């Protein structure tokens, strides 16, 4: 039987109610996120979530002087008013958005029971955690709605974003063996997932970055190649650090050179088509842009200098010297454009194998990360949309960590356009998107507005809160203002993937799955209480190190111990 907890006092608009709670029932409703319900016609219930409190001591308010009141300690003349936002209408087993009628002042308010909340909240596909105010009620998300309507995980640093994302990934991997997910891992935080699941692949550029990953996690990553010829004009410009608003002449030279080298193998190619060429051929084509002129062109010279710097950067050999894709191209005997497309499909198609592909980009420069991510995302977009048009859809979920670096608000980035396109059109082609950010106000508002489900952990910056409120639907100001009061690991979750908006205690990933993620805070007290462990830094500071040299004696090596003493 439903427990009465108070009466409706006022109704504001179509979503907020204020109700007076009985003093002896305050313990049932005095926590943010608690659900109450009111009867409506047809035997159904209107559900609302408590989001605010107005608790007054009437005796103190009227007297203003506590000391003059005799027996004050024995009196409890209190007025308990709570504010709740209406979240839907249901029969105790399921719930739907909207309400057929509003509650009326004076109407009885009841507490929603644990049993009916468990039925409603447990109707999804993947379990993310439990309700914060009632740890007996599991909270689940609808996978179809999560992926098809996209989602955003937002929070300040250290609030539990990576933990929440890892729980989502692990839940999907365990329940859906043929899922296809790609994670752009900006700081290599999710690499340990490969220890837990055989279907998780870690891809990173060969050389220094790969050695860092292997040394830190004990996991040998697969070699990532993003060949220069697979990059479009914008991605190449990003690699060369060309500002589209200023370097217009250099972009003109680059476009002409890209068309020339691609059309040398396939006459109908455009500047963006994935037609094979070698990096040296691009340089020669750029040089030819200035021939016939009597005067030196500083724009052209500067463009050549930037290209030379790119070609000489050993950390970017996975772009400029992609040995595997070169071998694949040489071994393919088909005519163009089928030859280039076959290699292109082989290079990027491996990302679409069942399981999770972690593209670990930690350690790369920011512009290289953005161009690499842009190329991978555009390639996945091309392959998946082509599959749909060919009658063979490949549902794929893409998650982007530190998304504000790839799709910044008010600033150009090579990955921004493709991310916004996926957000706006991906649903039609079976591409889901999850964006993760600790700086929501720096994230593209277009991108954030397309994310139907919000998973917001503690966020204290008022500008971030306002940005979230203005960018996302189905979010009330009272909900957003409560984000600063969440504890670590707690999240406000709202949107089509959730049965109802809820404050959820997300499962702790290590406790549930037995694997520690990267990106944890340094234990200062522990590390400052013992001498540093000698580690040879050479393989992690020098991009190319001969294998036989790596085993040499350390008496002349650059070690942390030598550096610190």
pLDDT of residue 93: 82
Nearest to 240 by CA among 373, 367, 418, 363: 367
Mean pLDDT of 255-267: 95
Return mean pLDDT, the chain: 86
Mean pLDDT of 300-310: 92
- Three-point CA angle 16, 19, 21, nearest 5°: 145
SS3 state at 531:
coil
Q: Look at residue 77 and tell me whether its pLDDT is greater than 70.
A: no
Q: Look at residue 563 and tell me whether its pLDDT is greater than 50.
A: no
Each residue's pLDDT tens digit, 269-278: 999 999 999 9
Kindly report the number of other CB atoms within 10 A of residue 547's CB atom. Answer: 7
Least confident of 126-135, 235-244, 388-397, 432-441: 235-244
Distance CA(474)–CA(466), nearest Å, equals 14
Beta bridge partners of 54: 81
Element (H, E) at 62: helix 58-63
CA distances from 370 to 144, 269, 397, 408, 418 (A): 29, 25, 19, 11, 11
Half-sphere exposure (Cβ direction) of 22: Cα atoms closer than 13 Å: 12
Mean pLDDT of 121-127: 94
Mean pLDDT of 422-431: 93
pLDDT of residue 545: 64
pLDDT band at 303 (very low <50, low <70, confident <90, very high): very high
Each residue's pLDDT tens digit, 26-65: 889 888 889 999 998 778 899 999 988 887 765 555 555 5
Q: Quote the crossing angle between the two packed helices 279-288 and 248-263, to the nearest 10°.
A: 120
Nearest to 367 by CA among 205, 225, 185, 243: 243
The order of strands in the sheet holding 180-185 is 134-141, 126-131, 502-506, 490-494, 453-456, 151-154, 431-437, 396-400, 180-185, 355-360, 200-204, 222-223
Predicted TM-score of the model (pTM):
0.85
Identify the top-confidence range among 153-157, 181-185, 227-231, 343-347.
Answer: 181-185
CB neighbours of 365 closer than 8 A, spacing ≥ 6? 315
Mean pLDDT of 172-199: 95
């Amino acid at each position: 039987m439903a427990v009465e907890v108070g009466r409706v006092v006022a109704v504001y608009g179509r979503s907020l109610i204020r109700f007076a709670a009985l003093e002896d029932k305050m313990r049932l409703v005095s926590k943010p996120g608690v659900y109450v319900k009111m009867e409506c016609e047809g035997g159904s219930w209107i559900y609302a979530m408590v989001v605010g409190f107005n608790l007054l001591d009437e005796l103190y308010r009227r007297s203003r002087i506590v000391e003059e009141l005799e027996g004050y300690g024995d009196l409890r003349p209190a007025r308990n008013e709570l504010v709740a936002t209406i979240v839907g209408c249901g029969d105790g087993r399921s719930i739907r958005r909207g309400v057929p009628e509003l509650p009326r002042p004076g109407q009885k308010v009841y507490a929603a029971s644990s049993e009916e909340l468990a039925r409603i909240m447990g109707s999804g596909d993947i379990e993310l955690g439990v309700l914060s105010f009632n740890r007996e009620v599991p909270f689940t998300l609808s996978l179809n709605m999560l992926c098809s309507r996209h989602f955003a995980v937002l929070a300040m640093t250290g609030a539990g974003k990576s933990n929440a994302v890892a729980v989502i990934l692990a839940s999907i991997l365990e329940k859906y063996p043929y899922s296809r997910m790609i994670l752009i891992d900006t700081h290599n935080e999710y690499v340990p997932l490969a220890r837990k699941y055989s279907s998780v692949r870690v891809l990173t550029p060969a050389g220094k970055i790969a050695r860092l990953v292997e040394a830190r996690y004990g996991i040998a990553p697969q070699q990532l190649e993003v060949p220069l010829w697979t990059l479009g004009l914008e991605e190449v410009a990003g690699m060369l650090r060309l500002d589209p608003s200023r370097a217009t002449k250099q972009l003109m030279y680059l476009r002409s050179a890209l068309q020339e080298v691609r059309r040398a193998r396939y006459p109908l190619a455009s500047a963006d088509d994935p037609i094979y060429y070698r990096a040296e051929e691009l340089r020669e084509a750029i040089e030819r842009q200035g021939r016939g002129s009597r005067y030196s062109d500083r724009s052209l010279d500067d463009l050549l200098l930037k290209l030379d710097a790119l070609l000489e950067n050993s950390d970017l050999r996975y772009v400029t010297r992609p040995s595997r894709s070169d071998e694949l191209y040489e071994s393919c005997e088909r005519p163009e454009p089928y030859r280039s497309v076959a290699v292109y499909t082989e290079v990027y198609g491996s990302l679409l194998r069942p399981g999770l592909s972690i593209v670990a980009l930690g350690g790369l420069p920011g512009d290289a990360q953005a161009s690499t991510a842009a190329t991978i995302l555009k390639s996945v977009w091309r392959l998946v949309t082509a599959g749909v048009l060919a009658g063979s859809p490949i549902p794929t979920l893409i998650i982007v960590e530190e998304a504000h670096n790839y799709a910044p608000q008010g600033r150009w980035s090579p990955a921004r356009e493709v991310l916004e396109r996926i957000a706006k059109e991906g649903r039609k082609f079976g591409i889901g998107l999850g964006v993760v950010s600790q700086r929501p106000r720096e994230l593209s508002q277009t991108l954030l507005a397309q994310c139907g489900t919000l998973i917001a952990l503690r966020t204290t910056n008022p500008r971030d809160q306002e940005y979230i409120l203005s960018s996302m639907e189905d979010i009330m100001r009272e909900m957003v203002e409560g984000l600063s009061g969440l504890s670590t690991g707690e999240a406000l979750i709202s949107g089509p993937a959730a049965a109802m908006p809820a404050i959820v205690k997300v499962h702790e990933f290590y406790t549930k799955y037995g694997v520690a993620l990267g990106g944890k805070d340094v234990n200062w007290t522990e590390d400052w209480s013992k001498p540093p462990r000698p580690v040879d830094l050479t393989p992690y500071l020098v991009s190319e190190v001969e294998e036989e040299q790596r085993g040499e004696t350390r008496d002349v090596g650059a070690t942390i111990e030598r550096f610190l003493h």
